[in-house]
Structure 1
Amino acid sequence: MSDEPLQVSIKILEKEYRIACAQHEQEDLKASARLLDHRMREIRQNGRVIGTDRIAVMAALNIAHDLIQLQRAQPGLDPDAGRRLRELQERISMALANEPPAEQPAETPLAEPAEPLLDASNERV
């Protein structure tokens, strides 16, 4: 996987933006743009805030407030946890994709594996 920046096109309130980002961050950027677009549309529909700049500032304040509330609710949450969770999910998916399904007769109950299939005891979340 290349970390070379690529141009991603996103649309917020009918306006298109081209943003440079690493390929592995492309989906997160698109999800962030969808969230921002949704929040800005809610504020615009409310009708109390006029002007795209003011709507953007209000949306940013609301999202920042949500983030602070989330951080307070989970004070031990490591800021790098999201990235590490995604990497762990990718490793699990790759491990499951590369492992052939176990052949078990229908009448035989599944036995416990001698060793765990995935040892994530060294992973921090």
Structure 2
Amino acid sequence: MSEIKGVDVNIMGRDFTVSCTDEERPGLLNAVNFLDKKMRDIRDSGKVIGVERIAIMTALNLSYELLNSKSGDVNIGDIKRRISMMQDQIDQACELK
């Protein structure tokens, strides 16, 4: 079992330290990237203002998607493919910097 360590992450320009093991780190970083993108999408839509409101709307949207996936209304394979494509786009964007 790995030791729990603090991992520094950035979501919408705000820094956080999250505890996880080395095994959990890749999944955590994927989740951070996914959450950051979702929150930025909501912010960029211009319909929601304020980080707290953006976070709540993102949580609501993700909760809705999760609950629908449990009822079979969402294709998990499609979601995994979309997340993978987003991760590739993020990786490419980071390489350009």
Q: TM-score, normalised by structure 1?
A: 0.55
Q: Distance in 1 between matches of 2:58 and 2:12?
A: 12
* Higher normalized contact order (CA 8 Å, seq sep 6+, divided by chain length): 2
- Larger deviation, residues 16-25 vs 65-74: 65-74
Identical residues among aligned pairs (%): 33
Shift of 1:7: 0.9
Q: Structure 1 segments of 4 or more deviating over 2 A?
A: none
Higher relative helix content: 2
| Structure 2 residue aligned with 1:57 | 56
Q: Distance in 1 between matches of 2:36 and 2:14?
A: 10
| Structure 1 residue aligned with 2:6 | 7
Q: Is 1:48–2:47 an aligned residue pair?
A: yes
Shift of 1:18: 0.8
Query: Which structure is larger by alpha-carbon Rg, 1 or 2?
Result: 1
Number of aligned pairs?
A: 73
Structure 1: which 5+ residue stretches go unaligned?
75-125
Instruction: Give CA deviations for 1:22-64 in whole Å, capped at 9, x if unaligned.
Output: 2211111111111110000000001111100000010011111
Q: Distance in 1 between matches of 2:49 and 2:15?
A: 20
Equivalent runs, 1:19-30 vs 2, <5 Å: 19-30=18-29
Equivalent runs, 1:1-125 vs 2, <5 Å: 2-73=1-72
Instruction: Give CA deviations for 1:63-121 in whole Å, capped at 9, x if unaligned.
Output: 111111111118xxxxxxxxxxxxxxxxxxxxxxxxxxxxxxxxxxxxxxxxxxxxxxx
Query: RMSD of the alignment, in Å?
Result: 1.3
